Amino acid sequence: MRGAGILSVGGPVSDIELPDPRPLADDEVLIAVRAAGVANWDEIVRQGGWDVGIAPPMALGVEAAGMVIAVGAAVDDWAPRDEVLTHPLPLRAGGTWAPQLIAPATLLARRPAAMSWAAAAAFPVPALTAEQALSEAVAIKAGERLLIHGGGGVTGGLLVALAAMRGARVTATASATSQLLEERQVDRRAAGDGSRRARVLGDERLPQPRRPLEGRALLDGLMPAHMTPVEQRAPGRWQLGTVTAIKQETPRVKSFRLELPMWMPHLPGQHYDVRLTAPDGYRAQRSYSVASSPLDRGEIELTVDRLEDGEVSPYFHDVLVEGDEVEVRGPFASYFVWRGERPVLLVGGGSGVVPLMAILRHRRRTMPELPMRVVYSVRSAEDVIYADELGDDALLTFTRKPPARWSGHTGRSDGALLEQAGIGSATAFVCGSNGFVETASDLLLEAGCPADRIRTERFGPTG
């Protein structure tokens, strides 16, 4: 067989002849490689700066994804046709830039259904780097504070996610061109800066990782077998979406259907970036949560709340008409997404219902029997977004002006309202303003919901 490799240390990478796979040892598997990772460490291997266990002539590459085609006599955990990813160091019979790869069975992870082959191949080294840094270099513990620089990159985003899974309080920095980080930890601390109304749906937040968190111990269970598969690929380039429909949801909220030439399926809860460019070159960019199900092929729905002194939302409300084009890029986000967990409780305040509606719509179309309820807090009846779609799976509370003859809950969300939702041991998705998220998270904790089953998304006041 042939592969990409080197004939000698420091030699050029070229298409070289490689030996066919030898017979497997008892603890090994043979993998048909579907994709292999390429990164700066491969150049280090080429120059002889990293001992990966074998010497040239050899195929380069230290991470890959593919399908198992044979297993050794002592391998019980894997079988032919299993889809896996691996970082098989030390290499036993060649690198990953080859049609077939021999790897120890203990160094495999199952490829999640929602992860493309390319993403799976590029995942192992960044993920293991992040895990090693937290476990060995930092030894982070629950409750400790951690500052992560470069949180918008792949490894940085994984550091944020893994630290939060350990119960750490994480702050991350990122460049202005990085994508957005979601809130990664829930506890009983007091609100830091009070309640702020979410006046724009999905506007600028903390920077967050571009890629989903996928990989063996981290990923098993994130995409249950009963979840309708949605292949998640890396976000695309900027593209021009065409407005195909506009719906007035409330006096200050509209939903926009956009047809995308480079559409890709999203995960419920993700968002898109929107960019406007003025004639003088000035640009304004915001992020808006996707409200539609990923089953709506070729299009997405963005719901936008008009902010009087905003830069993007007034343009959407006052200028855009059907047939217009708008520049978008996405989808983004990895933490505040639904991957088929059950049961589920959705808790939204005001405009925070938007990503929750994507989850609710997708569940209705794929698993209508799955226990899921939304608890929705709004000021008045005219502020209810998606009013014509909220049915028996939704509980509303009106904080200021309930409709005439309203017999349901009024005032802010409380423990009684969450108890009325009637979903015990649920995974909770909480979205809204800072104050709303703080209060709702505390109520869920007091009701016995484990902190690691509460996912939060906060919106700020720009638009």
Residue 184 backbone zone (phi > 0: left; psi -120 to 50: alpha; other: beta): alpha
DSSP alpha helix (H) spans, 379-414: none
For residues 219 and 203, give the distance between their C-alpha atoms in angstroms, rounded to a whole number: 28
**Based on the number of CB atoms within 10 Å of its own CB, is 189 exposed (0-12), middle (13-18) or buried (19 or more)?**
exposed
For residues 105 and 124, give the distance between their C-alpha atoms in angstroms, rounded to a whole number: 15
For residues 456 and 4, give the distance between their C-alpha atoms in angstroms, rounded to a whole number: 44
- 36-59 b/e (C-beta count within 10 Å ≥ 16 → b): bbbeebbeebbeeeeebeeebebb
Assigned token pair, 162: 């893994």
Q: What is the pLDDT of residue 281?
A: 85
Phi/psi of residue 301, each to 5°?
-120, 125
How does DSSP classify residue 215? S
Q: What is the pLDDT of residue 182?
A: 39
Phi/psi of residue 363, each to 5°?
-65, -40
Encoded amino acid at 253, one letter: V
| Dihedral over Cα of 301, 307, 311, 316: its sign | positive
Residue 228 and residue 306 in contact, taking contact as beta carbons nearer than 8 Å: no
For residues 331 and 266, give the distance between their C-alpha atoms in angstroms, rounded to a whole number: 6
Phi/psi of residue 357, each to 5°?
-65, -35
> Up-side HSE of residue 328: CA atoms within 13 Å toward CB?
30
Assigned token pair, 228: 């309708």
DSSP alpha helix (H) spans, 294-421: 313-318, 353-366, 415-421
| Strand residue runs (E) in 333-460 | 344-349, 372-380, 394-401, 409-410, 427-432, 454-458
For residues 73 and 93, give the distance between their C-alpha atoms in angstroms, rounded to a whole number: 18
Q: What is the pLDDT of residue 19?
A: 93
DSSP 3-state of 407: coil
Q: What is the pLDDT along the chain (463 residues), one digit of tens a residue?
A: 999 999 999 999 999 999 999 999 999 999 999 999 998 889 999 999 889 999 999 999 999 999 999 999 999 999 998 999 999 999 999 999 999 999 999 999 999 887 889 989 999 999 998 988 898 888 888 889 899 988 878 888 889 888 888 888 888 887 654 443 433 333 333 334 333 322 233 333 323 222 222 333 333 333 334 344 444 444 558 899 999 999 999 999 999 999 999 898 899 999 999 999 988 888 899 999 999 999 999 999 999 999 988 889 999 999 999 999 999 999 987 789 998 889 999 999 999 999 999 999 999 999 999 999 999 999 999 999 999 999 999 999 999 999 999 999 999 999 999 999 987 789 999 999 989 999 999 999 999 998 889 999 987 655 6
For residues 391 and 373, give the distance between their C-alpha atoms in angstroms, rounded to a whole number: 10
For residues 299 and 47, give the distance between their C-alpha atoms in angstroms, rounded to a whole number: 47
Place of tokens 């969300």: 413
pTM for the model stands at: 0.55
Quote the distance between the C-alpha of residue 280 and its chain's center: 35
Q: What is the pLDDT of residue 176?
A: 52
Encoded amino acid at 250, one letter: T
Quote the distance between the C-alpha of residue 117 and its chain's center: 17
Place of tokens 């925070």: 352
Of 353, 378, 357, which Cα lies nearest the Cα of 431?
353
> Up-side HSE of residue 447: CA atoms within 13 Å toward CB?
25
| Number of Cβ atoms within 10 Å of the Cβ of 194 | 10
Q: What is the pLDDT of residue 225?
A: 40
Assigned token pair, 280: 């003088």
Residue 136 and residue 108 in contact, taking contact as beta carbons nearer than 8 Å: no
Angle (deg, nearest 10), helices 124-132 and 154-165: 50
For residues 69 and 31, give the distance between their C-alpha atoms in angstroms, rounded to a whole number: 6
DSSP 3-state of 232: strand
